[in-house]
A and B are shown apart, each in its own frame.
Chain A
Amino acid sequence: MATQENDRIPLLQGTLDPLILRTLLFGAQHGQGIARAIQQQSQDVLLVDHGTLYPALQRLEDKGWIAAAWGVSSNNRKARFYTLTKPGRKHLTQQVSQWRRLAAAIGRVLGPEY
Chain B
Amino acid sequence: MRWRRRRADDFRAEIEAHLELEADELRAEGHTHAEHAARRAFGNRAIAEERFYEAGPWMWFEHLARDVRFAARVLLKDLRFSALAAAGLALGIGSSTAIFALINASLAANDEPAPYVGISRVIDGRPRGVFSTEEFRRFREEAKTLQLFDASSGRDRLILGPLRPGDDADETDARFVSAQQVILGRGFSPEEERPGGPPVVQVGSACWKARFAGDPAVLGRTVVLNAHAVTIVGVTKDRANFAEFYLPLGMRAVMRPGADPDDAWLMLGAQLRPGVSQSQAQAEMDVLVRGLPTLGRRHEGVLVSAGGSNPEKRREMIAVVTAVTLAVSMILLIACSNLANLLLARAAARRREIAVRLSLGATRRRVVGQLLTESLLLALSGGALGILFSNWLARVLLALADPGPGLALDLHPDPRVLLLWDCALVGGGAVVRVGAGTGSHADESCRGAARAGCGDQGPGAPGNVRAQSIGGDTACSIADAAVGRRNRGAACPGHV
Contacts and interface: CB of A to CB of B under 8 A. Distances in A.
B51 A77 contact: no
B400 interface: no
A54 B47 CA distance: 11
A93 interface: no
A95 to B, nearest CB: 20
B76 interface: no
B24 A50 contact: no
Interface string A46-61: 0001111011001100
A79 B18 CA distance: 7
Interface string A28-67: 0011110010000000000001111011001100100000
How many chain A residues sit at the interface, stated as a range, is 20 to 34
Interface residues of B, number: 22
B25 A32 contact: yes
Contacts of A73: 21
A59 B15 contact: no
A78 interface: yes
B47 A79 contact: no
Give chain B's interface secondary structure class: helix
Interface string B222-256: 00000000000000000000000000000000000
- B18, B20, B43, B47 pick with most chain A CB within 10 angstroms: B18
A89 interface: no
B276 to A, nearest CB: 66
A51 B25 contact: no
Interface string B195-238: 00000000000000000000000000000000000000000000
A52 B14 contact: no
B21 A79 contact: yes
A77 B20 contact: yes
Contacts of A31: 14, 17-18
B17 A54 contact: no
B259 interface: no
Contacts of B17: 30-32, 77-80
Interface string B14-45: 11011011101100000000000000011111
A33 B17 CA distance: 11
Interface in A75-91: 75, 77-80
Contacts of A59: 55
Contact of A54 (B21, B24, B48): B48
B52 interface: yes
Contacts of A55: 48, 51-52, 55
B18 A58 contact: no
Nearest to B29: A1
B131 interface: no
Given A30-B17, A77-B20, A80-B14, A54 B41 contact: no
Nearest to A58: B52
Closest 8 CB pairs of A and B: A51-B43, A32-B21, A55-B51, A50-B42, A51-B48, A32-B18, A80-B14, A79-B17
29 contacts: A30-B17, A30-B18, A30-B21, A31-B17, A32-B18, A32-B22, A33-B21, A49-B43, A50-B42, A51-B43, A51-B45, A51-B47, A54-B15, A55-B51, A55-B55, A58-B11, A58-B52, A58-B55, A59-B55, A62-B55, A75-B24, A77-B24, A79-B14, A79-B17, A79-B18, A79-B21, A80-B13, A80-B14, A80-B17
Given A54-B11, A55-B48, A62-B55, 8 more contacts: A32-B17, A54-B52, A77-B17, A77-B20, A77-B21, A79-B17, A79-B21, A80-B13
